[in-house]
Structure formats: C-alpha cells, structure tokens
Amino acid sequence: MPTQIVNAVCVVLIGACSASDPAPAASGNPTLAPPEGLKLQPVPRPELSAMGESVQRRIREALAALSAAIEERPPVPERLAHAYGETGNLLLPMRELETAEAYYLNAQTLAPDDWRWPYLLGYLYRQRGPLDKAVVAFERARQLQPDHVATLVRLGDVYLALGRPEPAAPLFDKAIALDPGSSAAWFGAGQVALARSDDRTAVKALEEALARDEGATAIHYPLAMAYRRLGNVDQARAHLAQRGDVEPRPEDPFLAKIEAGLENESALMLDSLGGQSLAAGNWATAADYFERALKLSPDSPSLRHRLATALFRMGDERGAEQQFERVLRTAPASRDTHYNLALIKAGSGRIEAAITQLTTALGYEPGDARAHVTLARLLAVTGRPAEALAHYTTVLEQEPRRADAALGYAMTLSLLERYPEARDRLTDGMRTFPDEPRFSRALARLLASAPDDTVRDGRRALSMAEALLGQRQQSVNTGLAVGETYAMALAESKQYATAAAVQRDVRATAEKAGEPNDVVRRLTDNLSRYERGLPCRRPWTPEELP
C-alpha cells in the first residue's frame, strides 16, 4: 500500500473535539423556591443522574446548605448569596449553564457589590448567549473591580463578537497596561486595529500576542489578513498555513479554580478538559484526561472515541485502533468510528478492510461526503476507477462546490482514459475554484502528458507550469508537485536535459524530506524517461488523487 495514503487521508480523525454523549439536562425538574420578600427567583434542581457519584454528593450537599439558608428566619442575605453562588460554581464546570444562571442571578441580587456573580454571569452568557446580556454582566463586574484584567479582556472579546470594536479598544489597551504579558489582550488589540484598517498596528499587536502564546493558532488568521493588506504576500501565506482554532485566554485564577474544582470527580469535566487539550494539540495530556474520565464512566462511547483520537495523534495507531474497535462493540452504528478505523487501516496497507469500514459508515449515513471521497480514492488505488467515479458523482450531486470531489472526479476521468472530459472538467474547476491551485496544476500535467494527442498542448502546459513556479510555495509537498509538473511540461516541449535536471532536484528534495518510497520511485521512473529523451505519458497515479 502506498504510504502517501497516510499523508492524504490520515490527517484529522473525525469527532476529535466534540462528545456525542448527551449533557445532563435540567428542564422539567422541580424548582427550589426562594424565601419571600427578597425579589429572588425559583431555581431549578439540576438533573444529577448522568453525573458521577462524588459530584452528585457534592451538589446534594450544596443544595442542602442552600435549603437550610432558605429556611432561616429571618433569612441572612450574605449566607443565601454564598449558598446560591457556591451551587452555581458546581454547576458551571458541569456545563449546566441554563441551570447555573438562576443561581448566579439570585447571588447577584443578594450581594450586588460582589463582583464575582456578574463576572460569572458574563462568562456564562459568553458561552451560550445572548451576548447583550454578557455585556451588561461584564460591565457590572468591571464597575465593581475596574482593574481585573480577565474582565477587561472578556468584555472586549464580547464587543468584538458583536461587531463593536470601538468600545473594545480601551478595554484591551487598559488590560495591556495592567498586564503587558497577556497574549489575549494583545490579540484583542490586534483585532481592533484590523477592524479599523490600521494594519501596521494590527501586525504589531498580533505578533506580540503570538510571541507570548505560540500555541494560540487562532492568531495566525487575522495576522495573515493584516500582512495581506500590507502587501506582504509571503508572510500572509505563511501565517495562513498555520491558522487554527486555539485562541489565547486571559490569565484567570479565579475561574480556573472553579473549573478545576471537580476535575478529579467528574467524567464530564475531565472530558471537557481533554477536549481543550486536543484543541491545543496537547495529545498526551488529552489522553490522560480521557483515560481518567473512562475510569469514572467506562461505558461512554464518546470518551473512548476521543481517547482513540488522542492516541492516534500521539502516533500510537495500534492503541487508537483498539479503542475504536471497543467503541464499535457498544456503539456499532458510530459512523465516525467506522470512518476513523478506515483511515488507520488504509494507512497501514489494509485497503480492503478500510473499504469495508467506509462502506459500513455509508450504510449508516449515505450522504457522508467525506466517506464517499475517501472511498473513491481507495477504490481508484485498487484499480476500480469506475466505482470511484460513482462516489465522486454522489458527492457532487449533493455539494457541487466541493473542491476535493470536483478535482477527484476530473482526475479519475483521466484514469479512465477519458482525457477530453478530464481537461474540460479541470478547466471548469479553475473557474469555479480560483483560489485552489491544484486544478491548474492538474490541468498543466494533463496538457503535458496525456496519451491523447488531441488533448496535449505542450506550450500551454509549460506556460501554466512556469506561472505555478512563480507562486511562492508554502509546503514541501506543494513544491514537489509543482516541480514535477514543470519537468513534465519541459519534457513535452522536448527540453529533456532541463526536464531531467529539474526532476533530479525534485527527487533529491523528496528524499531529503523523507517522502515515501513509492513517491521517490515515481520520480525516478520519470527521470529515467527524460534522460532517454522520452516525455511522460501518465499525468498522475491513483495515489495522487485528493
């Protein structure tokens, strides 16, 4: 099995950052009535059945303390505020946000000068909405504690989310003045500058943010936008290639203490922490959280799925496969698990087993585009391009603007020796997906090396390949593909010596980069043709399909 299948399809396992087990719900449960005369609201009793025993015990104890405070005559507002707030602090890390809201609102009513309750309400509303309520809550917390950096940053973040950079700007400026090392504050300031079209200031602020938290991959995208608007295309492309979803967070010992309070007792909390570690790329930490959570909730398919994902990212493919197989024993209809098993099996050369897993996944979800595309590629690799074309067709009927399916369809037409159709499809793809260079690269190859004389156009192929060379490449794989395409076009133009020289450089780069043996072998075969004064007559191999 060609090893580059690992590079092409085993990049991201599905379901890495979201659990499928339902969170405990509070709707429909009895409420706990407040004492009269204090303008408080009834609070819902949380549903405890899905929580671990120790968590249930702690919440019951908190509710008992709250009930005792409610029964006191006369009621003591300070004691009641503490009881309501502490119960909310147990519900917040359990992601019981709707339930926690009522407890915090009562705590705020009883203790209006305590900044903690509006701050936690602001955090809660930022998580689930509405954002207008988050603004009100954070503004109240800021009035009570003006120099709390996390409040300033979080309030600024909400204003940005609402598309209001102007009120956000002084908040981030003050946060930076109070804590110059805050990556989150610099990140916010950079986004404000970007919204104001002050791109130089944006670059400075975002570079500061990145210097203080290199793992915050969400910084790269706005930084790329700022560099692009300044005309620095190289920097823009470099940062765009590194973009991700991990945002810098403000230092917040107060909230961290609350969220860590149930860390060793709640499978749900451990699951949440594991998900955060996955998103940050801390695979070993994530695996540890999921393993600890499974000790508390051993029958959870989603926890086991996420553990398998973390193991795979750590390079433990065997361990990941074992965990995915265990998921299917209790959740045989988990199409994500079938899909991920297919990726692992394909990567280790068990193509037919991978095809079986993908077929099973499609049986549960016939419209799963990712499974159709991956299955199409594996079918092409095993010499079944007609079947592959049918799967690409299915995807394009559902999602006509899906680039990988459109490209795979066109390239598979070539494998079926339908070269004029392949050319037309690739030409259409260049118009439909102008920012996707793989279409122009594939068309250049087809024009340079199609066995059909009516399709080949060496002059146009060379012009397209030279244009591709003029674009700065951001990855070794892309650079190799463009270099190989250029050599094909040179050979079709009968510049065999130059084609051979380019191909030697491409092969040397591939060997240095540790490319798989079959890639090096393909490069060597074409090099041999150019050295003998022969052009290439195979635009691509099935393994090169997207």
Q: How far apart are CA 410 and CA 188, in angstroms?
A: 43
Which H or E run contains 44?
A: strand 43-44
Beta bridge pairs of residue 43: 32
What pLDDT does residue 22 have?
36
Backbone torsion region of residue 208, taken as left when φ is above 0, otherwise alpha when ψ lies between -120 and 50, otherwise beta: alpha
Residue 93 sits in a domain whose CATH number is 1.25.40
What pLDDT does residue 271 have?
81
CB crowding 205-220: b at 16 or more within 10 Å, else e: bbbbbbebbeebbbbb
**Number of structural domains the chain divides into:** 2
- Of 242, 265, 288, the domain-final residue: 265
Do residues 38 and 83 share a domain? yes
Q: How far apart are CA 351 and CA 59, in angstroms?
A: 50
Burial class (CB in 10 A: 0-12, 13-18, 19+), 186: buried
Q: What is the pLDDT along the chain (546 residues), one digit of tens a residue?
A: 444 443 443 344 655 444 334 333 333 448 899 998 899 999 999 988 766 677 788 899 999 999 999 999 998 999 999 999 999 999 998 778 899 999 999 999 999 999 999 999 999 999 888 999 999 999 999 999 999 999 999 999 999 999 999 999 999 999 999 999 999 999 999 999 999 999 999 999 999 999 999 888 899 999 999 999 999 988 988 898 888 777 899 999 999 888 776 655 667 777 877 887 887 788 888 898 899 888 878 888 989 999 999 999 999 999 999 999 999 999 999 999 999 999 999 999 999 999 999 999 999 999 899 999 999 999 999 999 999 999 999 999 989 989 999 999 999 999 999 999 999 999 999 999 988 899 999 999 999 999 999 999 999 999 999 999 887 555 667 888 999 999 999 999 999 999 999 999 999 999 988 888 889 999 999 999 999 999 999 999 999 999
Do residues 159 and 259 share a domain? yes
Residue 181 sits in a domain whose CATH number is 1.25.40.10
- Of 265, 289, 320, the domain-final residue: 265
What pLDDT does residue 95 have?
79
**Residue 290: both structure tokens together:** 């999921």
3 state DSSP class of 30: coil
What pLDDT does residue 379 have?
97
Do residues 170 and 83 share a domain? no
Q: How far apart are CA 370 and CA 353, in angstroms?
A: 17
Q: How far apart are CA 130 and CA 152, in angstroms?
A: 19
CB count in 10 Å sphere of residue 268 = 25
Do residues 173 and 215 share a domain? yes
- Domain annotation covers residue 154: yes
Residue with structure tokens 């203790």? Answer: 111
Query: Could you list the residue range(s) of the whole structural domain that residue 61 is in?
Result: 22-114
Do residues 251 and 147 share a domain? yes
- Domain annotation covers residue 191: yes
Do residues 163 and 256 share a domain? yes
- Domain annotation covers residue 506: no
Candidates 297, 288, 294, 293; CA nearest to 264 is: 293
- Domain annotation covers residue 300: no
Do residues 210 and 151 share a domain? yes
- Domain annotation covers residue 315: no
Do residues 214 and 164 share a domain? yes
- Of 227, 245, 265, the domain-final residue: 265
3 state DSSP class of 461: helix
